[in-house]
Homo-oligomer: A and B are copies of this chain.
């Protein structure tokens, strides 16, 4: 009795599609061809928009942004697994999932050009999706509260909340997971472990072998998945959502992926990492692998691929056009959204502001 084993824990990993697109038939999810194609299309849309934004940014047509290239599988597959009434709470590398959930590309562009208007989504899209979270990790407790609210009202909606590997170091990560576990709230926490937090490699971020094991601290089911394997991501999130809806509480998923590009366009990864590492991961990137899988299933071919790319290019063109042709928004909108009702002192400040802006424009 004196020195005895109290508890034992196991961390598992999941891969369905290997790096060459070979599927493990035993684990393959029962997705319709239409769904598989939607997933591929979703990832491709994000890739296309990201690549265009990189160009726009270099031309000074939008501001700083963080590309998601290489990480499309995680959030896009999660979005496929989700229902419209589930909450989607992102960090800032979930472009695929955001587009799948219906965020118009033009919004993404406006947001990245410094306009709150980019966050104002069509009502049915915005209803259960929040804007990007910039304060790393601060969304995690929000997810616990959203989950609590769903459970409290007897909805069977759930919450999927994303964060990076770096975010797992923040106190809010820990507090949010603890609350969700205590409440047994219907939340799926997904950490996109893309190996880097700006210049800090995963091994320096935390001393644990896996991120997945951080769920043990809350006795939360936890799992590591291959985050470049859209099917594994889909399976893991689906299982976790089903458990959440059945009252089984939260899950923590570590999705192992890789940030193929710079942290943001203001960053230069050559300062801190080796290009050979990037090259290795380019071979493991999610679109390639999924395309092989689709081709193997006779759901896809070269011609379809070309047609898709052309179509997406046109879609992005249209969005960029709408973005650049958008009428200017009034400068004083921020005054209107401090509070629901503008207080008199602020109204006076707005008058002063408008007078200044006018004079400065006239000068």
Contacts and interface: CB of A to CB of B under 8 A. Distances in A.
A173 B178 CA distance: 12
A220 interface: yes
A181 B1 CA distance: 30
Instruction: State the majority secondary structure of interface residues on A.
Output: mixed
A206 B218 contact: yes
Contact of A171 (B174, B207, B209): B174
A198 interface: no
Interface stretch (A6-14, A77-85, A264-272, A290-298): A6-14
A3 interface: yes
Contacts of A18: 1
A20 interface: no
Given A3-B13, A4-B12, A171-B171, A213 B209 contact: no
Contact of A8 (B9, B169, B224): B9
What's the number of copies of this chain in the assembled complex? 2
A213 B207 contact: no
A3 B9 contact: no
A314 interface: no
A16 interface: yes
B10 A5 contact: yes
Interface residues of A, number: 49
A214 B213 contact: no
B210 A213 contact: no
A27 B3 CA distance: 9
Contact of A208 (B173, B207, B216, B224): B216
Nearest to A218: B207
A210 B6 contact: yes
A180 to B, nearest CB: 9
The 3 A-B pairs with the shortest beta carbon distances in the complex, nearest first, are A171-B171, A174-B174, A181-B207
Given A13-B3, A213-B9, A217-B217, A206 B224 contact: no
A75 interface: no
Contact of A14 (B2, B9, B208, B220): B2
Nearest to A182: B207
Contacts of A7: 10-11, 209-210, 213
A139 interface: no
Contacts of A5: 10-13
